[in-house]
Amino acid sequence: MKILLQDTETGLYLSRGGCWSDNSDRALAFLDEVRAKDFSIYHHFANAKVVVRAEAGDSEFPPALLASAAKTNLNPKLIMNAKENTTHMTKQTQMKMNRPVSAKATSLARPMSGSLRETARRKPASGEPAHSQNRWPAEPPTMVEARIDVGVGNQVFIRGQGDGLSWFQGVPLKCIEPTKWVWSTAQASGKVVFKLLLNDQTWAKGEDIAVEAGRKVEVVPFF
């Protein structure tokens, strides 16, 4: 189990370096629920909540769950029984998956495989050119990469025009690394003009920046 902090408005997780990310695997994990709450209070994360995420291979309930049961006078045996039932169901599922397939079932599956191959080999529909089944390579995305460390609890936003951007409301960039923020789109059809903001309030110094569709631009903003 992983105990994390999640922003209730954006759904992003607090990750290392003070970034907020939509990937829970990169999120900053806490030892228990109390430490996570103390951390959010110390850094003034008004919209943060404590969440628990299960990891592959987990077999134990987090300590915070047993502690909560004790505070609410819940019988801990009920939690342990639920844990045993979950383990028992998991073992039964694994036994069914590992059960050898009978020869009859195998023989029934073979004709189905053949019918699938015949379906895949069917001719194009009437009026459809044969080359229409070939997919054209996807257009490269239009990308804006900002290199800056804005500190814990802060975030970089983008405003502008083109591909749904607006000068009146910003869109948050994704925090890839503590000093790397990225915004990208695959829908831009022309030039995108933009400017970066800190927490969607403080505008970056300098003129507006433009990037052509399908290109990437790297900026180092100053607020």
Domain ranges of the chain: 2-94, 142-219
Q: Is the pLDDT of residue 171 over 90?
A: yes
Distances (CA, A) of 2 to 57, 69, 70, 156, 188: 12, 19, 21, 26, 38
Nearest residue to 30 via CA among 7, 17, 14: 14
| pLDDT tens column, 137-156 | 567 889 999 999 998 889 99
pTM of the model: 0.44
Q: Which residue has the higher pLDDT, 82 or 195?
A: 195
Q: What 3-state DSSP class applies to 76? A: helix
Q: How many residues can be counted in the chain?
A: 223
Burial 48-87 (b: 16+ CB within 10 A, else e): bebbeeeeeeeeebbebbeeebeeeeeeeeeeeeeeeeee
CB of 48 closer than 8 Å to CB of 40: yes
| pLDDT tens column, 172-206 | 999 998 899 999 988 877 889 999 999 999 999 99
CATH code that applies to domain 142-219: 2.60.40.10
